[in-house]
Amino acid sequence: DPDMPFVPSIPEDQFILVEEGDPTIIPCRTSDPDAQVTLINSLDKAVFAFYDSKQGFIGNFPAGSYTCKTIVEGVEFKSDEFLIYILRATSQLPVEIEALKTVYKTGETIVVTCVVFDNEVVNLQWNYPGKVKEKGLIKLDDIKVPSQKLVYTLTIPEASVKDTGDYECTARHATKEVKENKKVVITVHDKGFVHLEPQFGPLEAVNLHEDKNFVVDVQ
């Protein structure tokens, strides 16, 4: 079609997410398989890469904006703009789970944090006693500096005894068959308590100048 040399692209094709170091395709396809197409970056400089009229430009491209252009019967045509985003992702999934404390009283707020290191391409799921009732509030912090980490925070307000149990986060790599899960056990008591168990009798005798230890187990 000389009036539309570039096949129209859908919005999903214009935003290209690429894992760091992986090749990708900038999908500016042409209706004329013999068209001469040039790839232009945001600085209006030509970028040299392999071109396939059925797929587009193939190669390792830096993050940024790209446009394709061609000339038909002396008229220049430009494709839609394509935006490449580079995501950091390693083949391993280093995950840590942290709890400020593991014993709570009824009415307190439970906070558990799951941290994924060196990956931006991750799906994370929580399993915990109150999940069926959707009791937990989940927040994500994407930290870039000084190193990449995704911090998922699960908060359970107004905890009850029923919130006692396993708190587990499972991280899955979005593009590779890799997953990692971590677990912490949380206990919620109906009320606070102190249990004392002395290791001595109510009346003790000691010789003059004798050292004697009095031991109490405290829970």
Who's near 31: CB < 8 A, 6+ residues apart?
1, 4, 5, 6, 7
Task: Compute, in degrees rounded to 10, the torsion defined by CA atoms 58, 60, 64, 68.
Answer: -20
Q: What is the DSSP string of 144-156?
A: -SSS-EEEEEEEE
Minimal CA–CA distance to 34: which of 71, 61, 9?
Answer: 71
Q: What percent of the chain has pLDDT over 70?
A: 98
Minimal CA–CA distance to 141: which of 157, 130, 152, 127?
Answer: 152
Is residue 114 very low, low, confident or very high in pLDDT (cuts 50, 70, 90)?
Answer: very high
Q: Which domains does the chain have, with CATH numbers?
A: 11-87 (2.60.40.10), 95-189 (2.60.40.10)
Mean pLDDT of the region 195-219: 92
Cβ atoms of 194 and 218 within 8 Å: the answer is yes
The reported pLDDT for the residue numbered 29 is 92
The reported pLDDT for the residue numbered 45 is 92
Rg over alpha carbons for the chain, rounded to the nearest Å, is 30
pLDDT tens digits, one per residue of 118-170: 887 788 999 999 998 888 999 999 988 888 899 999 999 999 999 999 999 99
pLDDT tens digits, one per residue of 61-105: 998 999 999 998 888 999 999 999 887 767 678 899 999 899 999
pTM for this model (two decimals)? 0.60
The reported pLDDT for the residue numbered 157 is 94
